[in-house]
Structure 1
Amino acid sequence: MHVTRDELRDFAARAFVRVGLPESDACIIGELMAEAEFQGSEGHGIMRMNHYIRRIQAGGVNPKPNIRVVEERAAMALVDGDNGMGHLVMKRATGIAIEKARTCGVAWVGSQHSNHAGPASLYPRMALEHGMVALYFAVGNANHLPPWGGLDMLLSTNPIAVAIPTHEEPPVVLDMATTVAAYGKVKTKAQRGETMPVGWMIDRQGNPLTDPKRSAEGLLLPIGGYKGYGLALVFGLLAGTLNGAAMGKDVIDFNADDVTPTNTGQAICVIDPAAFGDPLEFKKRVDVVVRDLRASERMPGVERIWLPGEQSHLKKLEAQRNGTPIAPALQKSLDTLADSLGILRLSGGTP
């Protein structure tokens, strides 16, 4: 089944309204979830609906939060999400950072008492609409990574995303976990009945683990060995510890616990290129670098050199033309959710 962006947004909004969210908030979350799906971030898109709804119904997420600034200076702010949906918290935080960057040239806004907010790139992309650069950091919502050489899972995938505007080329958008694979990709493999590639996870004896349904028995591997472990640590300290949010052993596994608030920490830094000179010239220079890289000599068998964000850009264009595909297992899951809530199915049928 292929669905339009509006169909995805409206389905998610109907579900969130049914479990107590104000319609305006439900529409914001639905729009961001649809955006995630259309840019190809399926592991953090509509497949998360059942999980989000379950946590709200169980009391683990506040459906009507008082999201507010609790600390502030000229170029920074700390946002308390009041245990609301992370999408709402980070949209608010990003908006504050963009406005502060207009005045100060750069701004850093952190969050505490937030929740899972979808793919990391959603929020830096918002700054692109204003011609700005943005960097995003977050503490993941479950620990699947031990310290290098250890077995205790004290770190999460702790993602980072960076968005850099261009003039004529697609924007440069890096969105990556500090592990070889984000846990959302593991969940997607499990839902589809597929196996994981060797190198994503190992068991506690160090052997490759390829069955995603056994992921609770294993450990995610960091990118670049000990370097990825170091990145996971420092990004977690910046997004979690600095904000008074959960980090390390305090991280709640929201896959297994629907009741306990996660106190998720996130941070976004926005830079206005106008503070460094002509922003149009900056964008044109980025275009030059992008084209030089793409046109550089390729190794045998390599058809194209890709820039970060290009494949997501093409997926989004394709989805805008033809709708985004919903796998049969996911469609069945969403239909079951719709029936349980008494709302119109995504597939158009009635309960």
Structure 2
Amino acid sequence: MKYSPDSLEEVALQILLGFGCDANEAAIVADHLIRANLAGHDSHGIGMLPMYGQQIEDGNLIPNQTPEFFPAAGAIRVVDARRGFGHRMALLALDHAFEAAREHNVAVLGLRNSGHVSRTGNYSEYCASKGFISLHFVNVWGHAPTVAPFGSCDPGFSTNPISIGIPVNGEARPMLDLATSTVALGKVRVAHNKGEKVPHGWIIDDAGSPTTDPGPMWLERKGALTAFGEHKGSGLGLFVELLAGAVAGKETVATGNYIPRGVFNNMFSILINPQGFDDQAAIEARVLEFYQAIKGGNPLPATDEILMPGEPEERKAADRTANGVDVDNETISQLMQTASDFKLDPVSLGNVLVECT
């Protein structure tokens, strides 16, 4: 079923307020989640709320948390999110790092001990809106690893996303946002909730053989996600783990405690003021010149158009804004159960949803 984005955001907002988030935090998180849905990343959208509710019940996700800002070390800034909602904690940390980037033309940020930061591309977009080039590397700890390094049957790290953006007219263009696994774990959840098989190559079973059944991976954590590009994605995933976990944070997936239903992030970010290199307009002109040169190439016979990083999300967002966001019945049921768990009326909340035809 497709629902209007505004009604989904209102449902998310009400559930977050039920969690105990104040109005500001609830609005930030709801906006982030629905923007992920609009971009086509349902793995990081409104369907995350049931997990957040479980973490709050366990005391492992803290609404309205105040982060700890460590003393500056040159252009390096370190922020402990103290298990607050990562969507807001990351923005506060980036705002803190922008001060260093303005002073030094570059800043390196270590955000540690954060609740789930969700879609990493959101932070490239945010930095671009402030005029900064940015690179973000995120590791995941608190649960057993989910991605098998190249050549291994056993999981060794998590999905470990990377995002890179360059500002052009206040927007990240182009903008790269990818997991170093073939897919994000949340896409396995989405397939399971829809009762669908996953494409060949996404996951292996606990014997190391390819499988298309998402159930054991999602429900029991049996098997593993594959790294994209074989040894190449595996190598990137390893270095994301080291930069975000061993350098910026204090926990890698190998050393962090395993916590039931725990999902925590560390983020290693590099922020660059392009005006430290040249006039902003001149840089943007060169970026667009290259951008259009790639776009102007001859597409493959089976390809209508050459798309740059970030364009598929833009196209998906335009379509879903106009025609609604597809959310499966199982996810809606989980959302209503979460609402009930936090003393909200699921019937009233369900009435907020606006179906699109």
The TM-score normalised by the length of structure 2 is 0.89
Question: Is the CA contact (8 Å cut-off) linking 1:114 and 1:265 kept in structure 2?
Answer: yes
| Cα distance in structure 2, aligned partners of 1:264 and 1:101 | 23
Question: Could you say which residue in structure 1 is the equivalent of 2:106?
Answer: 106
CA RMSD, aligned part only? 2.2
SS at match of 2:175: strand
* Alignment partner of 1:182 out of 162, 169, 184: 184
Matches of residues 25-104 of structure 1 in structure 2 within 5 Å?
25-104=25-104
Length, aligned pairs only: 345
Report whether the alignment pairs 1:235 with 2:235: no
| Cα distance in structure 2, aligned partners of 1:200 and 1:271 | 34
* Alignment partner of 2:250 out of 233, 245, 255: 245
Structure 2: where are the runs of 5+ without partners?
none
Question: Is the CA contact (8 Å cut-off) linking 1:97 and 1:268 kept in structure 2?
Answer: no
Question: Is the CA contact (8 Å cut-off) linking 1:209 and 1:218 kept in structure 2?
Answer: no
Matches of residues 135-284 of structure 1 in structure 2 within 5 Å?
135-141=135-141, 142=143, 143-167=145-169, 171-215=173-217, 216-251=221-256, 257-258=260-261, 263-284=264-285
Per-residue deviation, residues 76-114 of structure 1 (Å, max 9, x unmatched): 211011111111221111222233222221111111111
Give the partner amino acid of 1:304: E
Q: After alignment, is 81-90 or 335-344 more displaced? A: 335-344
| Cα distance in structure 1, aligned partners of 2:47 and 2:264 | 22
Q: After alignment, is 83-92 or 323-332 more displaced? A: 323-332
| Cα distance in structure 1, aligned partners of 2:39 and 2:206 | 34
The Cα of 1:5 is off from its aligned counterpart by: 4.2
Question: Is the CA contact (8 Å cut-off) linking 1:339 and 1:345 kept in structure 2?
Answer: no
State the identity %. Answer: 28
Question: Is the CA contact (8 Å cut-off) linking 2:131 and 2:170 kept in structure 1?
Answer: no
Question: Is the CA contact (8 Å cut-off) linking 2:2 and 2:324 kept in structure 1?
Answer: yes
The Cα of 1:150 is off from its aligned counterpart by: 2.9
Moved over 6 A (4+): none
The Cα of 1:173 is off from its aligned counterpart by: 1.0
Q: 1:74 to 1:2 in 2, by over 3 A?
A: farther
Report whether the alignment pairs 1:294 with 2:295: yes
SS at match of 2:35: helix
| Cα distance in structure 1, aligned partners of 2:282 and 2:79 | 34
Give the partner amino acid of 1:21: C
Question: Is the CA contact (8 Å cut-off) linking 1:90 and 1:117 kept in structure 2?
Answer: yes
SS at match of 2:176: strand
| Cα distance in structure 2, aligned partners of 1:252 and 1:304 | 46
The Cα of 1:168 is off from its aligned counterpart by: 10
Per-residue deviation, residues 256-289 of structure 1 (Å, max 9, x unmatched): x13x6x5531122211111111111211211111
Q: 1:87 to 1:167 in 2, by over 3 A?
A: closer
SS at match of 2:177: strand
Report whether the alignment pairs 1:326 with 2:324: no
Q: 1:35 to 1:288 in 2, by over 3 A?
A: same
Q: After alignment, is 335-344 or 223-232 more displaced? A: 335-344
| Cα distance in structure 2, aligned partners of 1:33 and 1:199 | 27
